[in-house]
Structure 1
Amino acid sequence: MSVSSKLDKLHQAFSEKCLERTGKFPVIEHDTAWPSPCEHGEVDEQGLIQWRAVAQQPAGSLDDLASALELRFPEGLNALFGHLYAGNVLLNINDHHIELLQAWNEDDFSRLQQNITGHVLMKRKLKQPETVFIGLTEQDDLLITVLVENGQVCLEYVGKKPHHVLANSISEFLDMVTV
């Protein structure tokens, strides 16, 4: 199954779990200056809006960024960030509560690319293996990253080398996470 298909299933399971627990789809604080095609319904009395993942049309691509950085991003990275517009997804893997990053809208996809650029340049300056962050953990300084050289999904402290491999690929990582 493709990374895009796995991501679709993951978002479906996350939405269903939120709906089951709260009677609502996933919610996020509404910002009129930061609209998204994935917003669903009306803003509630707490200023929250429900969201549901929607396909990016056309699909987003990190190919130009990879070319500019003179890199070849691992398989699945384009789909992970360029397939859907959605809020971040709360997941679990190996006793870690994580937040899988997603692009909220077209501007967020552009901002994500700028952040990836800054992260890769920092890794080069530190003479560390190049990585791309894809998620956050319950610890502020512990990231989920993908090693550019081989596609492994790892845990990495900010400013440090990856120290623990979670999965051998993005596809395998998506198979391992639970909602």
Structure 2
Amino acid sequence: MALTISAQLDKFVSSYVEHAKGEGLKIAFDSEWPSPCYEETAQDGELVEWAPKRQSPPLSFNNVEDALSLKLHADYCSYFTTYYSDNLKAKAPQGDCELLQVFNREDFERLQQNLIGHLLMKQRLNQAPTLFFGLTDEEDFILTVINETGEVALEQVGQAPTQILANSLSEFIEQLSPLNA
């Protein structure tokens, strides 16, 4: 039985943090970009420890769904409303990728604006809605969830998805191994 997206994300985040043991997860501190992820405060630009933190209460995509009259795939919504985190670098069977995450509430608002722009572009191009969640090491190729099916696809920006990578977001994340940079 496959894990829920939330449980699979818990498992991956846990292995990501474990993989970073020793040197730890470091990020440049930015007082203008507050986040529950910071483990300490410092002068702007100084490296500080950080860790993914559960959202409490979880954020919501309701306003995007209302604005576009579109129900977003539940796995996609869970994916972005489980943790506050910096992006997570990973190795997939197809190559390296970066899982987008939201660092704070403002970052989530920016994600929603970008998602609306992406969905409106898809509509203009008469393409089925896809929901981006990751970057690849190939320029102009992104990881998306096909909204209708929940499948994970490789998609060139502005094009319809060309390759299905997994049947679900949970299945896709299950095949990843952490890359801490």
The two structures have a TM-score, normalised by structure 2, of 0.90
Counterpart of 1:9 (choices 8, 11, 15) is 11
Letter in 2 for 1:39: Y
User: Equivalences for 1:5-154 in 2 at 5 Å?
Assistant: 5-19=7-21, 23-43=22-42, 47-154=46-153
Q: Between the two proteins, what is the percent identity of the paired residues?
A: 38
- 1:134–1:145 CA contact under 8 A, matched in 2: yes
Letter in 1 for 2:11: K
Q: Which runs of 5+ in 1 are unaligned?
A: none
Map of 1:165 onto structure 2: 164
Quickly say closer, same or farther: Cα 1:127–1:39, change in 2 above 3 A. Answer: same
Letter in 2 for 1:37: P
- 1:60–1:78 CA contact under 8 A, matched in 2: no
Moved more, 158-167 or 58-67: 58-67
How far apart in 2 are the matches of 1:27 and 1:127?
42
Residue-pair matches, total: 176
Question: Match of 2:90, SS?
Answer: strand
Could you report, residue by residue, the CA deviation over 1:52-84 in whole angstroms, capped at 9, with x for unpaired residues? Answer: 111111111113312321212113112110111
Q: What is the CA-CA distance between 1:147 and the residue it aligns to?
A: 0.9
Question: Match of 1:25, SS?
Answer: coil
How far apart in 1 are the matches of 2:71 and 2:27?
33
- 1:53–1:87 CA contact under 8 A, matched in 2: yes
How far apart in 2 are the matches of 1:45 and 1:117?
32
Letter in 2 for 1:142: F
How far apart in 2 are the matches of 1:17 and 1:31?
25
Q: What is the CA-CA distance between 1:49 and the residue it aligns to?
A: 2.1
Q: Which runs of 5+ in 2 are unaligned?
A: none
Q: What is the CA-CA distance between 1:32 and the residue it aligns to?
A: 1.4
How far apart in 2 are the matches of 1:95 and 1:49?
32
- 1:39–1:52 CA contact under 8 A, matched in 2: yes
CA RMSD of aligned residues (A): 1.7
Could you report, residue by residue, the CA deviation over 1:113-140 in whole angstroms, capped at 9, with x for unpaired residues? Answer: 1110000001111111211110001122
